[in-house]
């Protein structure tokens, strides 16, 4: 119960801080929209396979840029303050939930803009949307912990990319396969296995984050 | 000599597979022909790599719970040795694939997974290089190692089973029984795996001991 | 009658073709005994490798004792 209260407080604080400056949100949105536009100008039209892959590559880089900030932007004094008032588990859960919300919002806006600019036919729209949401969740859970590791190792954004790519690639492969199924309009029972494996990996990642973050935190 | 029995066992197993692997009869299969004997030399590399990465994982956990510096050293050396085995496995697999599947890098999920797993551990080495302070380096890299190990397991054991693969034992049909192993081949294959795992651990332990000596010397000098 | 003969010929050809379809193995190398040369070379290589490992092991042991 204490943990729950701490999580809610921290989450409220994150959202409030974001709402006041709107820096992260606007920055990411502009980033996504300009990347999509650059892709549009260079590709004009794309075959379905490229359409799908391109969307996920844009999302991947946007997510890395967005989530890399989540620990790096915190000042030393503020971190010390968190240490006083909350348990490490509460902090990491709050961060993960906040990043999930941010990424889902971003992914949905990106998807809308992307499908307006690039004309493409998606066979099973609901399943594609589910794939996008699952993808946003996977990116957030993995990158939150990696950004915590990278921030302890000298705030280097190259390091963030190096550390996160090998971990995210298996998830990305599954997500691309799932969204490809949705585009082809295959029967939903075909995709259940991918959804299950994705959910399982996310659970494992969250569990290991919860176990490991306290060690990272204690400094 | 009584402590060295496992090294001798490993050596004997490897030498036995050289003789047995080349001379004992193998099933006659199309495409593979005589190259099926590569199984005795290529596949054990992956087994050793996975065992060494598991040793690294266990030692990272031990380090986080005990804070003993030596556990961290053993984890690093396991990763270092495992990466060498991974590279040898990739290289030997590429030669074999070139002659049986027609390309050194056919788009095969198992191949891609193995390459990504190697990347993951190279990232671990880079992470270690980026931190100066010893204790901090040990702790953060242990956290990354434990974090990435389950993903590596999923990558190597689960993902190839979801898609069709050129490798045997995949495509939704996992397990060893589906390898084209007859009893003659088993007689060589299992000792080969055991032998190479033992050799891998032996090399790792030697690197670890060198590291310990270096470490001690550094402490004396500084 | 002609038809039957041609059918028979076709059958013979297909049988011989099938027999040639046999999987090619290194039988020649084995029958001439040269496979043992390969075994000997590889055995030498691996023995050297293992002996080398043992010497390194010994050297480390020596340094460990010095400390």
Write out chain B residues lying below 8 Å of C24, CB-based: 33
Chains near C with 3+ CB pairs less than 8 A apart are B
Counting as low any pLDDT under 70, the low residues of chain A are 155, 219
Kindly report which listed range (B61-70, B97-106, B209-218) carries the lowest average pLDDT score: B97-106
- ipTM surpassing 0.95, yes or no? no
Query: Is the confidence at residue B144, as pLDDT, over 60?
Result: yes
This prediction's pTM: 0.85
| pLDDT-above-70 percentage for chain B | 88
Closest-CA distance, C12 to chain B, in angstroms, reads: 23
SS3 track for chain A: CHHHHHHHHHHHHHHHHHHHHCHHHHHHHHHHHHHHHHHHHHHCCCCHHHHHHHHHHHHHHHHHHHHHHHHHCCCHHHHHHHHHHCCHHHHHHHHHHHHHHHHHHHHHHHHHHHHHHCCCCCCCHHHHHHHHHHHHHHHHHHHHHHHHHHHHCCCCHHHHHHHHHHHHHHHHHHHHHHHHHHHHCCCHHHHHHHHHHHHHHHHHHHHHHHHHHHHHHCC
- The domain of A104 spans 2-217
Closest-CA distance, C46 to chain B, in angstroms, reads: 7
Domains contained in chain A, number: 1
Query: Is the confidence at residue B178, as pLDDT, over 50?
Result: no
Q: Which of residues 5-24 of C touch B (CB under 8 A)?
A: 22-24
Write out chain C residues lying below 8 Å of B210, CB-based: 60
Query: What number is the average pLDDT over the span B124-145?
Result: 91
pLDDT tier at C33, thresholds 50, 70, 90: low
CB contacts < 8 Å between B and C, how many?
A: 51
Q: Do B120 and A209 count as a contact with CB atoms less than 8 A apart?
A: no
């Amino acid at each position: 119960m204490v943990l729950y209260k701490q999580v809610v407080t921290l989450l409220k604080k994150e959202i409030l801080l974001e709402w006041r400056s709107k820096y992260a949100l606007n920055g990411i949105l502009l980033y996504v929209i300009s990347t999509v536009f650059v892709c549009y100008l260079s590709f004009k039209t794309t075959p379905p396979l490229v359409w799908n892959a391109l969307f996920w590559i844009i999302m991947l880089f946007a997510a890395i840029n967005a989530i890399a900030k989540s620990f790096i932007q915190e000042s030393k004094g503020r971190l010390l303050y968190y240490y006083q008032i909350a348990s490490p588990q509460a902090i990491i859960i709050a961060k993960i939930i906040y990043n999930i919300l941010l990424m889902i919002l971003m992914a949905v806006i990106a998807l809308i803009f992307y499908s307006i600019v690039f004309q493409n036919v998606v066979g099973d729209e609901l399943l594609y949307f589910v794939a996008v949401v699952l993808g946003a969740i996977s990116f957030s859970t993995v990158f939150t912990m990696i950004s915590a590791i990278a921030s302890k190792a000298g705030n280097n954004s190259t390091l963030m990319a190096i550390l996160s790519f090998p971990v995210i690639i298996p998830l990305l492969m599954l997500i691309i396969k799932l969204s490809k199924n949705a585009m082809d309009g295959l029967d939903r029972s075909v995709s259940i296995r991918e959804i299950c494996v994705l959910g399982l990996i996310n659970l494992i990642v969250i569990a290991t984050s919860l176990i490991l973050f306290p060690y990272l935190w204690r400094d | 000599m009584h402590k060295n029995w496992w090294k001798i066992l490993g050596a004997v197993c490897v030498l036995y597979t050289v003789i047995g692997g080349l001379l004992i009869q193998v099933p006659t299969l199309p495409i593979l022909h005589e190259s099926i004997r590569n199984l005795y030399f290529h596949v054990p590399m992956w087994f050793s790599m996975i065992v060494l990465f598991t040793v690294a994982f266990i030692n990272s956990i031990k380090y986080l719970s005990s804070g003993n510096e030596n556990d961290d050293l053993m984890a690093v050396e396991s990763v270092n040795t495992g990466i060498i085995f991974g590279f040898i496995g990739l290289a030997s697999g590429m030669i074999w694939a070139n002659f049986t599947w027609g390309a050194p890098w056919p788009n095969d999920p198992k191949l891609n997974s193995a390459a990504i797993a190697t990347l993951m551990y190279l990232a671990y080495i880079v992470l270690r290089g980026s931190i100066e302070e010893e204790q901090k380096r040990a702790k953060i890299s242990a956290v990354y190692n434990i974090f990435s190990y389950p993903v590596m397991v999923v990558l190597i054991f689960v993902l190839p089973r979801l898609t069709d693969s050129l490798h045997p034992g995949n495509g939704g049909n996992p397990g060893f029984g589906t390898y084209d192993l007859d009893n003659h081949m088993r007689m060589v294959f299992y000792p080969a795996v055991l032998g190479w795992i033992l050799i891998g651990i032996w090399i790792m332990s030697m690197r670890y001991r060198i590291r310990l000596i270096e470490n001690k010397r550094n402490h004396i000098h500084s | 009658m002609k038809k039957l003969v041609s059918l028979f010929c076709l059958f013979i050809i297909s049988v011989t073709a099938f027999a040639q379809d046999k999987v090619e193995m290194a039988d020649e190398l084995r029958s001439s005994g040269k496979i043992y040369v390969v075994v000997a070379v590889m055995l030498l290589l691996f023995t050297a490798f293992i002996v080398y490992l043992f010497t390194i092991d010994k050297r480390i042991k020596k340094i460990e004792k010095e400390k």
